[in-house]
């Protein structure tokens, strides 16, 4: 049965917050642009009273997963906010959001992955920021419009609960030494999945007792989401895996593991892909998410990066929008000050700094991608900008709260198919039946 036990509790907190905000002279000062107000100003001509000073306020930011480090929080939120709005102090509180709710703790801002938004939307935890965006003159035309659509589409309500501050990209990483060892040309930007498959066959070798894996595709989702396949539709709570697009992904993925010697010793889609590539150095190619921070530290690995492979009908696209979002809490008693924090976070200055620190932004202007880790000495000469030749695929339907369980079921059925224990039609039919049965059991 779906656990909605927090809904009533959170709803009561929302009512309390609304009632608290109805009084005069609280911590909801009028929005304004330009320099922060640290005291009273000269009244405009004809005005009878000066504006009230902004009152000191402390805001709390929490996160649903480990998106933010203390260092990033201080550099991108705490310090620039304090610089522009001295009356605002933002605290980064660790811990589980659910526990904070049960304890009646203050939550003003929530850093959340778009895939988890349905879960927290069920708790009535988000606030539509549309009226605040207008009030604070936040220019949404600066953002990738597809990303904003993905934020709205992440929940059944279709509301804009926050703004995307980072996108997870995909890339093809490769070990230059392995390619050099076997005199094979390096991967290039613009390859298709089929191109990558043929290249992998040339560098999957057993040499002097070492089995070299030509291509580690990481996980099944790396092949699914470029086709905007989300396994379970969060609006209807129904799976659609017994269909042609999933059959195509299954058949492509099986071909990868059918290359003799290309299955890791840990098994199909098991073990640490980054360990195999960075520590063991026996993977020639790895297609996965952003692992550049780990690669920067791997000074003994001769690596480079290329554009993520794509489907022929969707050239230059990697996975569907995988976003880190700064959302406004519905139980905040300081919503306008929380929006001031967003105003600072999504300023050009902070977004450029974010990109320089390795957090790719969702701003349309190319200057933001060009700034990505540009001053890191270890990345000089690497094909970093090749990553940005791809864009996210159109967003999937809203993620379901049953997504994680459904994904595990689908991967298990894929393993059986890849190991010739089931044919593709049986594997997909059984996966859909099992996912449907699980969802029904949780709704009872």
Q: Please tell me what DSSP assigns to residue 263.
A: S
- DSSP 3-state helix, strand, coil percentages of the chain (rounded to 5)? 40, 15, 40
Instruction: Identify the band that residue 398 occupies on the pLDDT scale cut at 50, 70 and 90.
Output: confident
Instruction: Identify the band that residue 82 occupies on the pLDDT scale cut at 50, 70 and 90.
Output: very high
Query: What pLDDT does 124 receive?
Result: 92
pLDDT higher than 50, residue 39: no
Q: State mean pLDDT over 280-288.
A: 97
Average pLDDT of the chain to the nearest whole number: 89
CA atoms of 301 and 316, how far apart (whole Å): 27
Q: State mean pLDDT over 6-33.
A: 35
Of 354 and 41, the structure prediction assigns the larger pLDDT to: 354
Q: Which residues of 298-320 are buried (b: 16+ CB within 10 A; e: fewer)?
A: beebebbbbbbbbbeeeeebbbb
pLDDT higher than 80, residue 9: no
Q: pLDDT tens digits for 294-312?
A: 999 999 999 999 999 999 9
Query: What pLDDT does 156 receive?
Result: 85
Query: What pLDDT does 51 receive?
Result: 60
Q: pLDDT tens digits for 113-151?
A: 998 998 899 899 999 999 999 899 899 999 999 999 999
Query: What pLDDT does 50 receive?
Result: 54
Query: What pLDDT does 35 receive?
Result: 34
pLDDT higher than 50, residue 176: yes
Q: pLDDT tens digits for 208-239?
A: 999 999 999 999 999 999 999 999 998 899 99
Q: What percent of the chain has pLDDT over 90?
A: 81
Q: Please tell me what DSSP assigns to residue 323.
A: E
pLDDT higher than 80, residue 48: no
pLDDT higher than 80, residue 63: yes
Instruction: Identify the band that residue 395 occupies on the pLDDT scale cut at 50, 70 and 90.
Output: confident
Of 163 and 46, the structure prediction assigns the larger pLDDT to: 163
Helix (H, G, I), strand (E, B) or coil at 135: helix
Whether the Cβ atoms of residue 104 and residue 73 lie closer than 8 Å to each other:
no
Domains and CATH numbers, the chain: 5-21+55-168+322-370 (3.40.190.10), 170-320+393-443 (3.40.190.10)
CA atoms of 270 and 249, how far apart (whole Å): 18
Q: State mean pLDDT over 73-95.
A: 97
Q: State mean pLDDT over 36-48.
A: 42
CA atoms of 92 and 337, how far apart (whole Å): 15
Helix (H, G, I), strand (E, B) or coil at 374: coil
Q: Which residues of 142-170 are buried (b: 16+ CB within 10 A; e: fewer)?
A: bbbebbbebbbbbbbeebbbbbbbbbbbb
Q: pLDDT tens digits for 409-440?
A: 999 999 999 999 999 999 999 999 999 999 99
CA atoms of 172 and 196, how far apart (whole Å): 10
pLDDT higher than 60, residue 40: no
Q: State mean pLDDT over 327-344.
A: 97
Provide the CA 359 distance to its chain's centre, in angstroms: 11
Instruction: Identify the band that residue 99 occupies on the pLDDT scale cut at 50, 70 and 90.
Output: very high
């Amino acid at each position: 049965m779906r656990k909605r036990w927090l809904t009533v509790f959170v709803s009561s907190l929302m009512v309390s917050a609304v009632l608290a905000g109805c009084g005069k002279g609280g911590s909801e000062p009028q929005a304004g642009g330009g320099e922060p107000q640290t005291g009273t100003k000269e009244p405009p001509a004809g005005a009878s009273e000066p504006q009230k000073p902004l009152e000191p306020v402390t805001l709390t930011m929490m996160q649903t997963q480990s998106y933010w480090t203390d260092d990033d929080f201080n550099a991108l939120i705490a310090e620039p906010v304090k610089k522009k709005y001295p009356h605002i102090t933002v605290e980064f509180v660790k811990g589980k959001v659910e526990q904070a709710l049960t304890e009646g703790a203050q939550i003003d801002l929530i850093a959340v992955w778009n895939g988890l938004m349905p879960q927290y939307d069920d708790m009535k935890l988000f606030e539509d920021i549309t009226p605040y965006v207008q009030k604070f003159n936040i220019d949404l035309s600066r953002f990738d419009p597809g990303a904003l659509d993905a934020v709205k589409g992440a929940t059944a309500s279709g509301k804009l609960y926050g703004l995307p501050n980072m996108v997870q990209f995909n890339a093809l990483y490769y070990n230059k030494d392995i390619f050099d060892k076997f005199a094979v040309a390096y991967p290039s930007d613009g390859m298709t999945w089929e191109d990558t498959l043929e290249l992998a066959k040339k560098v999957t070798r057993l040499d002097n007792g070492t089995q070299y894996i030509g291509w580690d595709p990481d996980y099944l989702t790396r092949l699914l989401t470029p086709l905007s396949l989300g396994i379970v539709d969060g609006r209807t709570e129904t799976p659609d895996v017994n269909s042609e697009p999933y059959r195509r992904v299954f058949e492509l993925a099986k071909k990868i593991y059918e290359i003799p010697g290309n299955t890791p010793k840990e098994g199909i889609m098991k073990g640490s892909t980054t360990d195999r590539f960075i520590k063991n150095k026996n993977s020639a190619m790895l297609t996965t998410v952003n692992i550049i921070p780990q690669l920067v530290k791997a000074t003994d690995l001769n690596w480079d990066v290329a554009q993520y492979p794509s489907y022929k009908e969707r050239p230059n696209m990697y996975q569907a929008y995988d976003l880190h979002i700064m959302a406004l809490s519905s139980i905040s008693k300081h919503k306008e000050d929380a929006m001031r924090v967003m105003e600072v976070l999504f300023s050009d200055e902070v977004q450029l700094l974010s990109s320089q620190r390795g957090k790719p932004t969702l701003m349309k202007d190319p200057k933001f991608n060009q700034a990505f880790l540009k001053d890191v000495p270890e990345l000089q000469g690497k094909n970093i900008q090749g990553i940005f030749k791809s864009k996210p695929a159109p967003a999937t339907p809203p993620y379901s709260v049953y997504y994680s369980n459904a994904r595990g079921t689908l991967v298990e059925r894929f393993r059986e198919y890849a190991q010739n224990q089931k044919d593709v039609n049986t594997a997909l039919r059984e996966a859909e039946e099992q996912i449907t049965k699980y969802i029904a059991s949780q709704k009872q």
